[in-house]
Structures are given as C-alpha cells and as structure tokens.
Amino acid sequence: MGLVTKPDRCGRVPASLRIHGAAMRLVHTSDWHLGRTLHGESLLEHQAAFLEWLLGQAVSHQAEAVIVAGDIYDRAVPCTDAVALLDRALRDFAAAHIPVVITSGNHDSAVRLGFGARLSALAGIHLRTSVADITRPVVLGDADGDVAIYGIPYLLPDAVMAELGAERSHASVLAAAVARIRADAASRGIGRIVVVAHAFITGALPQILNGTSGSVASGTRRPPSSPGFTTPRLAICTASRTSRPGEPAPRSGTPGHRWRSRSPSAARPSPSRSPRSAQPGRLP
C-alpha cells in the first residue's frame, strides 16, 4: 500500500511513496472547529464551503476513506448550526459511499460526538471517541490484503490513565494506546495499519515516521519518547502541540495546533496544511 500525499508542482507523486500496486488514497484532514467565530463573525458559511469542497475532492480522487483527526467542533457544547452542518456533511459522505473515520479532539466533547456511533457505522461514518474504540479498527482492503485504520481520540491523562494502566503523562497514555493497537492488529493477523491520533507530541522535530513500507504521511512525526510509535507501518497524527526533545510536554491549556516543519534544520513550527477554520489574524 502506498499513500498518496501532496504531488509536486507537475502533479506527480514521488515514486518512493508508491510501494507496489495501485496506491490506496486516504484523505487526511483535521481541526475543522465547526462553529468557530472570528472577531464576532460566524465562520459557518466558509466551513460549509470547505466541507463541500472536501467531498468533491474525495469523490474526484476516488478516495477509499476520509480521515478526520480531531477537533471537529470548536467547543464541547457546539451551537446547533454547527451540529446541523456536520450532520449534512456526514450524510453527503455516506451518500457518496465514502467511509469517514473521525476521532475526537481536545475541543470536542467525546461523549456528545460519539453519540450513536454504532448506528453511524452502518452508514460508513466511524466515530472513535473512547478508550474502548482504540481497538476497533476500520478495515479496508486492496489487492495486497487488509489495511486496518485505528483511531486514537484525544486522551487526557487524568481521565484515562487508570483505564489504560498508564502513568500521568501524555507520552505514557499514548504509548499504552499504541501497545493495545499492536496487540489487536497481531491478533487479527493484519500487518498493515494506519494509526490516527489527536495528541500532544514531545520530541517531534528530528524525524518523520517512515515505516518498513516506505509510506509517509504529510506532517507525520515520530516521537522518540514514545517507543510505541515505532511499530505501525504508517501513522497520521494531528499534533496539538509539539516540543523539542527534553522539553516537557504540556499538561493543560489550549494547544497550538501546529506541526513542526518537515525539515530537521527548521527552527520554527509551521502551520498545519490540513484545512481548518481560521485563527485570529488569518483569513478563513
């Protein structure tokens, strides 16, 4: 399985990202922040236009799935118009027969977002919002066999460390979650997995995750302090905030939602290229 990432200016995808056979196309996005306002003005009109565009891209490129890595809403209790917008968008993806895998982020209420998850799954909308969901992969297939997509919701250490048997740190709960994924994938006999997370990442700057399959996701980072991330063949992660090795991971507060640059020599973080609602001072 090769993952199609951003093509070059001539529209070509690097040969190194095509391992064998036809590429499996996964559309990765995150941080929609539906319901957000900018200087008192609603962004819902712009967000609706984005979701319509995203559906068109998924259809035109014949994507096997759309992956949304957290922060679907801007607030834990979203406005009714934001809820209605998400409902319409997911209905349209279901009508187009394009599976959607959604994980909850730190801005979302996991309980509210995950309501009716098993019913939604019948329509191809897969919500991953709890610890129990970590070992419920969405399994896709291609000519080379099965590919399991695992979703890790935002894991607040204080809320989940007992259930995961982890210490009170983001690195520990994330490593425990990935350990469960490794064991589950092994029990299913699936060797190719995609791990999607909305998480705090420490030590993300030096390397990008480049598994034995050679596939690389744009913005993917391998945190050296989280050894559990070395096993999956491919990981897609929305980093709420990254820090250099040796810097403490944040324990609370509003994440910056920024990637570190893919270049090891870059000193400053760069904004994620995943589409999302505007931040103060930016255009939507």
Q: What is the pLDDT of residue 139?
A: 94
- C-alpha 201/C-alpha 194 separation (Å) is 17
The predicted model gives 181-201 an average pLDDT of 91
- Segment 116-134 mean pLDDT: 95
- At residue 43 the predicted structure's pLDDT band, cuts being 50, 70 and 90, is very high
Residue among 117, 141, 119 nearest 130 (CA): 117
Tell me the pLDDT of the chain averaged across its residues.
74
Q: How far is CA 264 from its chain centroid? A: 22
Which DSSP letter does residue 193 get?
Answer: E
Q: What is the mean pLDDT of residues 177-185?
A: 95
Calculate the alpha carbon distances from 233 to 85, 95, 227, 267 in Å. Answer: 34, 31, 14, 28
Identify the burial level of 102 via C-beta atoms within 10 angstroms of its C-beta, where 0-12 means exposed, 13-18 middle and 19 or more buried: buried
> Domain segments of the chain: what residues?
15-271
Give the best-scoring range by mean pLDDT among 98-107, 217-226, 241-250: 98-107
Q: What is the pLDDT of residue 142?
A: 85
pLDDT of 128 reads 97
Distance, in Å, from the CA atom of 216 to the CA atom of 214, rounded to the nearest integer, reads: 6
Are 177 and 155 spatial neighbours (Cβ–Cβ below 8 Å)?
Answer: yes
Spatial distance between the Cα atoms of 261 and 254, rounded to a whole number of angstroms: 20
Q: Read off the pLDDT of residues 98-115 as tens digits, 9 standing for 90 and up.
A: 999 999 999 999 999 999
pLDDT of residue 272: 37
Phi, psi of 124 (to 5 degrees): 90, 15
The confidence score (pLDDT) of residue 24 equals 82
Both tokens assigned to 136: 């419920």
Please give the class, per CATH, of domain 15-271: alpha beta
Q: Tell how far CA 148 is from the center of its chain.
A: 14
pTM: 0.70
**pLDDT tens column, 44-93:** 999 999 999 999 999 999 999 999 999 999 999 999 999 999 999 999 99
Within 10 angstroms of residue 258's Cβ, the number of other Cβ atoms is 15
Could you read off the pLDDT of 253-276 as tens digits, one per residue? Answer: 333 344 333 333 333 333 333 333
